[in-house]
Amino acid sequence: MKVVVDLSRCVGYAQCAFLAPETFRMHGEEALMYAPNPDDAQRDQVLRAAAACPVQAILVDRLEGRDAPAEASPT
Ligand code: SF4
């Protein structure tokens, strides 16, 4: 899976590092380090971290864009 953090939005609340410590880690007080390609086994934790981020700075699997499988359309 792919993870991108918009570091211009990130305000260092560390919710993600608390919920998915294998993917997100605080470096010092405010700098966030993260693994851009965490193992799929981390998916649940990463999704929880993304949902918990107060500024929605964590994007999951967005890079695949056009190649991503289409989601069920609401028909
Ligand atoms: S939860 Fe969001 S704002 Fe907080 S450190 Fe993680 S990415 Fe940054």
Domains of the chain, residue spans: 2-61
**Ligand 1 closest atom vs CA 14:** 5
pTM: 0.81
> Does residue 61 surpass a pLDDT of 90?
yes
Over residues 55-69, mean pLDDT: 74
The structural architecture, per CATH, of the domain 2-61 is: 2-Layer Sandwich (3.30)
- Ligand 1 mean position to 75 CA, how many Å? 35
pLDDT bin (cut points 50, 70, 90) of residue 64 is low
Ligand 1 midpoint to CA 57 (Å): 6
**Which pLDDT score is estimated for 30?**
80
3-class SS letters over 35-75 = CCCCCHHHHHHHHHHHHHCCCCCEEECCCCHHHCCCCCCCC
